[in-house]
Structure 1
Amino acid sequence: MVLQSHDVSDLCIGKPPVRWLPPSSTVADAIAEIEAGGGRGPDAAVAVWDGTKGEVDGRVCMADVHLFLCGGDGEAASLASPAAALQATLSDLLAAGAPPVRRIEPHASVVEAVDAFLDGAHCLVVPIRERWRRAAAAGEMCMCWLTVEDVVRFFVGCIGLFAPTGLALRFLSSGISPRGHAPVAAGDRALSAVPLLSAALATHSSVAVITGAGIAPRLAGEVSPSALCSCDVSVAAAIAALSAGDLTAFLHRSDLRCRRNLPGMVDLLYAGDPSSWPPSPSSSSSSSSSSSSLSSFSSSSDDEAEDGYKHYAPAPCARRDNNRQIIACHPGSSLVAVMAQAVAHRVTQVWVVDFDDGELVGVVRFLDVLWVLREHLNQPPLIYPSNFSSINPSTKLR
């Protein structure tokens, strides 16, 4: 079986070494390091590590930063003192509930990597073999990240082997039902969705933004950790000030459909001693660009849309494709089709909507797909007639 004949190192070929910071570094240091590594995005992260052969304490991406800035209650709320929150240590950020990482050796099997993800690891860190890196000769330890997306992409590359395992079957036939979800209503405050976003980050999912809650919920949008990873710290102000529906527009459609004034909130995020903020090309100019861009949100009055909302300039934090579509399927879709669809759009879950009325049914995550794979490994192999093709021509991928 392909899962048992390949080891983790096969999935790490060509991966860059992790960028890392010691636990005593600040949240602002992590932001600067992420920016210096080539910009924000789902793959941009720093390891909390001392650079030795010891364990990696955790992984910090921009989504972790945003959730940390929006976390806490009352006087402990980070948004009450954002400048102080940016000077908190990475140890403090990890203690606030960042998802765990786990180390796995290069010679471990892909099955062991699957088990680690199913056991709760958010991301795996793999030592890079010494012969791959010259730096190792000088005594420097090198690691690389292995994500759940990497594992599923590897399986998609072996898609011809999936039919005998049952993955080409529909959801219910494959032993999986669309998982329930904890949505947020479009009119609710985005800040109320922070606990849901923290859970979504840990489980490689997103938070559904719905309309018609309690009657026939329909998917109006989503707030995903990967979208937050593509934004600068000014998005914390948007989370604090906007509704969930407005935040979805702010993140994914690159327009802001609201009448609230955000510049004051952004100024708070960039307030404090300038020397405390690590210099970087993006962070040094983001304060002025954010304020000027966001000022246009409240001052512009020329672009009135047909729906009664004012459409504004692109959000300064959004570095994603405009008009990003929600990735969804129907309950009759096959898991192979879901995997291919998710990998093609670089998402880690696919929403399931009813074919007839568009009602939101649930969600299928990469973790659910890995669970099905792992269950089939524990079953005896199917015995087919010698003239049976492993690819059933009647199987339709939706």
Structure 2
Amino acid sequence: MAARLLAHEVSDLCLGKPPLKSLSTSATVRHALAALNSTHETHISLWTCNHQNHHSFFDRPIISPCRCVGKISMVDIICYLCRQDSLTSPSAALDSPVSVLLSPDSAAVVRHVEPATSLVEAIDLIINGAQNLVVPISSRTTMNSKRKQNLQNGISIAPTTHSGGEEFCWLTQDDVIRFLLSSIALFSPTAAYSVEALGIIDSEILSANYHSPASAALEAITASLADQTSVAVIDDDGILIGEISPFTLAHCDESVAMAITTLSAGDLMAYIDCGGPPEDIIRLVETRLKERGLTRLLDEFSPYSSSDDESSQSPVTVKSGRLSRSSSYSARITRMAEAIVCYPGSSLVAVMIQAIAHRVSYVWVIEEDCSVVGIVRFSGMLEVFREHLERMMS
């Protein structure tokens, strides 16, 4: 059984994975926003080539070879739109090159690997900072399916075939953790040890005070996206109230930039709650934007139709449909701003299952009084499994 696990290659983890939907680095932030709003995926891969399966804004010759140079999400766009220069000129910000959304370490975050790369090698890459492993897969897009591309807002969101007819998928920390969980019996008794005993509780956390301006947490939100963690929202006594999670923000509309600019961290949690932003908080955002002379944001990103007619009782609807009171939610949106927590004595396997069930890559660790101890991340779990695999190989 141990030898069989060690013999696995990344291609084994790619079975059933859909081909990546791609965006050219020659696109703009507005194109990236349209692409994200036209798909149920939370991330779009960025490539240095243009493709045979053109989006409506791809019109240059194909350049070979194609290479993924990074990934972007709605969180990247939201944080970018919260910058001072973007607030004063949102239209110009949207017309900027999409490359402005890439972090300096994007090349290390996204790594190309061959299908024959071993599971152990893949784990090592993730431990060393890779978040997505880009793997070539056999082309499964037929000519018929290409003709039936799903179009929304004039943007093609069909899987992209790169030069040479190649398609790619990517593997994440979540994919590897799920795969290891299927063979968890091989990691006995390590998997039954507590996260405290294993020493994987990281006490260095990102946090924001419940009453502080949400804009003050912008740097922490950006860092949490890069770390694949979250920002803890705590009170004056250090008690965990909730969180501002990149996972939740990734399912929101770009209009959340207005909420971050005007609300407190506590009110922002209510705004991004899966029930949709409450009407009173939406009106508060509008009022504060007008007071600050930021009406251009309302014109560009307003998620509702402002009206003084009190008889109008239509439900609030976010324009992208990502978070909407009047629409049903996808099963993948299963949590709100409430933080997912465990205790120092919780077992590794229990925390794994908890994180996977809520589709996050971390779990907060708290004491009985709800004070924050730290955070357990998938990367820390993988280090434990990597050490166990090392012993299995020796």
TM-score (norm. length: structure 2): 0.77
Deviation at 1:218, TM superposition (A): 1.0
Contact kept, 8 Å, 2:187 with 2:388, in 1: the verdict is no
Change in CA separation of 1:270 and 1:261 when aligned onto 2, cut-off 3 Å: closer
Q: Deviations over 1:257-288 (max 9, x none)?
A: 6462327579624757xxxxxxxxxxxxx75x
**What is the RMSD of the two structures over their aligned residues, measured on CA atoms?**
3.2
What does residue 91 of structure 2 align with?
Answer: 83
What does residue 62 of structure 1 align with?
Answer: 74
Map of 1:218-297 to 2, 5 A cutoff? 218-252=239-273, 253-256=275-278, 258=281, 260-262=284-286, 268-269=296-297, 271=299, 287=302, 290-292=303-305, 295=306
What does residue 214 of structure 2 align with?
Answer: 190
Map of 1:1-398 to 2, 5 A cutoff? 1=2, 3-36=5-38, 38-39=39-40, 41-42=41-42, 44-50=43-49, 51=51, 52-71=64-83, 77-94=85-102, 100-129=109-138, 132=140, 139-164=164-189, 166-212=190-236, 216-252=237-273, 253-256=275-278, 258=281, 260-262=284-286, 268-269=296-297, 271=299, 287=302, 290-292=303-305, 295=306, 316=318, 318=323, 320-321=333-334, 325-355=338-368, 357-379=369-391
Deviation at 1:231, TM superposition (A): 1.1
Contact kept, 8 Å, 1:209 with 1:223, in 2: the verdict is yes
Contact kept, 8 Å, 1:178 with 1:331, in 2: the verdict is no
Residue 22 of structure 2 aligns to a residue in which SS?
Answer: strand
Contact kept, 8 Å, 2:195 with 2:346, in 1: the verdict is yes
Residue 174 of structure 2 aligns to a residue in which SS?
Answer: helix
Q: Deviations over 1:51-79 (max 9, x none)?
A: 443321111111111122123xx5xx322
Q: Deviations over 1:189-237 (max 9, x none)?
A: 111111111111111101001112xxx3111111111111111111111
Amino acid at match of 1:332: G
Contact kept, 8 Å, 2:343 with 2:366, in 1: the verdict is yes
Change in CA separation of 1:150 and 1:374 when aligned onto 2, cut-off 3 Å: same
Which ranges in structure 1 are unaligned for 5 or more consecutive residues? Answer: 273-285, 304-311, 383-398
Change in CA separation of 1:45 and 1:269 when aligned onto 2, cut-off 3 Å: farther
Contact kept, 8 Å, 1:3 with 1:111, in 2: the verdict is no
Quote the Cα distance in structure 1 between the aligned partners of 2:393 and 2:199.
16
* Percent identity for Structure 1 against Structure 2: 39
Which ranges in structure 2 are unaligned for 5 or more consecutive residues? Answer: 52-63, 144-160, 325-332
The total of aligned residue pairs comes to 343
Deviation at 1:315, TM superposition (A): 6.6
Change in CA separation of 1:267 and 1:29 when aligned onto 2, cut-off 3 Å: farther
Amino acid at match of 1:189: P
Residue 212 of structure 2 aligns to a residue in which SS?
Answer: coil
* Bigger mean CA deviation after superposition, 331-340 or 216-225: 216-225
What does residue 157 of structure 2 align with?
Answer: none
